[in-house]
Structure 1
Amino acid sequence: MEPVIVTSESKLRGFIDAAVEAAMSRLAPRLSPAEQDRPAKNWLTNREAQDYLGLSKATLARYRADGTLPYSKVGASVFYRLSEVEALLERSGASAPPHSKAA
């Protein structure tokens, strides 16, 4: 019989995050620069989308308002599907994500 391990959700999440980070560190040297800049999750926060696209908060708000970039809200938080953000880049003719303004 397999042993049962009991832990808290936060400790489990920390363990998973550390394992994913370690795996990504080993994989990163094999990725192209564009692949290295790509976030490792499917949804981006407003700030992450700003950084990824190199846009101001106002421009991103305009893109939401005019339907240029679809989004979802949970409470007051705004989220964007990474696939939609990348589709916006494709439509604009960008071949790779620009570097963050914050960097």
Structure 2
Amino acid sequence: MSPRHRSGSSQAATIVIVIADVMAVVIGLWIVMYLLDANRANDLVVFVQDAARWLAGWSYDLFTFDAAWARVVAGYGLAAVVYLFVGHAIAGQLRRH
């Protein structure tokens, strides 16, 4: 393989990692805002909540704990971990090729 091709794979892997990390950070930020009872009337809080709900739509309310905070941490936390795991796994595969 040419060095140029490897560089492209490395750049693609870096892009995948950055996207996965940003997705996980947004979800993690929402978890922290929820736990700290952030002002839901604030535009930043609304934006982060909407983005996190969209990103974690598949895992939102997946768990049925009695405490709302546990449902948020487990449901959104699962999505963040999956995005990190899958994103870094894909990046690793891209770097190998």
**Would the TM-score normalized by the shorter structure come out above 0.5?**
no
Structure with the higher fraction of residues in strand conformation: 1
Q: Which has the bigger relative contact order, CA under 8 A and spacing at least 6?
A: 2
Instruction: Normalising by structure 1, report the TM-score.
Output: 0.27
